[in-house]
């Protein structure tokens, strides 16, 4: 199986089958990340679409300074922030929780964490997502959020304390 970098190289060379494979690896991750950031599935779908199109168009510009996943998520983040600024100017406010707990299927602990995640400030929720779901280091998150690594650690500290509180 090709690595992400090898796959992206083939995408840069115009191979559509490689793009499909790259899409399969990243589409869900990008969509979940943008749902988390925008809290609106319609806007998240729009951003995920723009992100994957941007990946196809700019694959040749990937310099290899980061992991491919970090690069893709960075594109998604920029697209989401751009859309968020536009939507806020237009007065549209994101309108759904990150996840809608289903009491019949989810155990109590997951439901409590879902509710606590919904209530976290956006920047803290993003740090939790990128750390626990995407496995990014604090330095990679700092680069994505364009803040010092100490800020990322502080955001995680406060978010983790809140999440741990609801579990005790």
Partner 1 sequence: MRTCDDIRELLAWYVKGSLANEEMMAVSAHLAQCAACRAELASTVQVGLALDGLYRHLPASPEDLWNQVTKQTHGRSLGSFHVGSFLVGFSMGARWKRGNVPIQGDLRVMGRRMRLFDTSKKRSQRRSA
Residue 101 DSSP code: -
Among 65, 90, 93, 107, binds partner 1 (CB under 8 A): 107
104-to-30, 110, 167 alpha-carbon distances in Å: 28, 12, 19
Which among 102, 96, 85, 98 is positioned nearest to 125, based on CA atoms? Answer: 98
3-state SS string for 87-115: HHHCCCCCCCCCCCCCCCCCCHHHHHHHH
Q: Which residues of 96-122 are buried (b: 16+ CB within 10 A; e: fewer)?
A: eebbebeeeeeeeeebbbbebbeebee
Binding characters for partner 1, 130-149, by CB under 8 A (x = yes): -xxx-xxxx-----------
154 touching partner 1, by CB under 8 A: yes
164 binds partner 1 (CB under 8 A): yes
Of 49-57, 60-68, 71-79, 86-94, the segment contacting partner 1 by CB under 8 A is 49-57
Round to whole Å and give the CA distance between 60 and 85: 28
Candidates 7, 43, 48, 120: give the one binding partner 1 (CB under 8 A): 48
Among 6, 88, 102, 119, binds partner 1 (CB under 8 A): 102
- Residue 22 CB, shortest distance to partner 1, in Å, is 11
117 near partner 1 (CB under 8 A): yes
Is 82 among the residues that bind partner 1 (CB under 8 A)?
no
Query: How buried is residue 136: exposed, middle or buried, by Cβ count under 10 Å (0-12/13-18/19+)?
Result: buried
Binding footprint of partner 1 on the chain (CB under 8 A): 14-17, 19-20, 23, 27-28, 30-32, 35-36, 41, 45, 48-49, 52-53, 56-57, 98-99, 101-102, 106-107, 109-110, 112-114, 117, 128, 131-133, 135-138, 153-154, 156-157, 160, 163-164, 167
């Amino acid at each position: 199986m090709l690595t992400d970098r090898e796959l992206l190289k083939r995408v840069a060379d115009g191979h559509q089958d490689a793009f499909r494979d790259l899409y399969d690896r990243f589409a869900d991750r990008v969509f979940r990340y943008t749902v988390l950031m925008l809290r609106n599935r319609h806007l998240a779908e729009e951003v995920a679409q723009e992100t994957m199109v941007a990946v196809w168009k700019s694959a040749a510009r990937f310099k290899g300074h980061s992991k491919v996943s970090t690069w893709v998520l960075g594109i998604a983040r920029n697209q989401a922030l751009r859309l968020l600024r536009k939507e806020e100017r237009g007065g549209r406010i994101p309108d759904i929780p990150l996840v809608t707990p289903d009491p019949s299927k989810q155990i109590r602990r997951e439901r409590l964490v879902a509710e606590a995640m919904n209530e976290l400030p956006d920047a803290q929720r993003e740090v939790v997502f990128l750390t626990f779901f995407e496995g990014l280091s604090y330095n990679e998150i700092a680069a994505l959020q364009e803040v010092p690594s100490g800020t990322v650690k502080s955001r995680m500290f406060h978010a983790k304390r809140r999440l741990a509180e609801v579990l005790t």
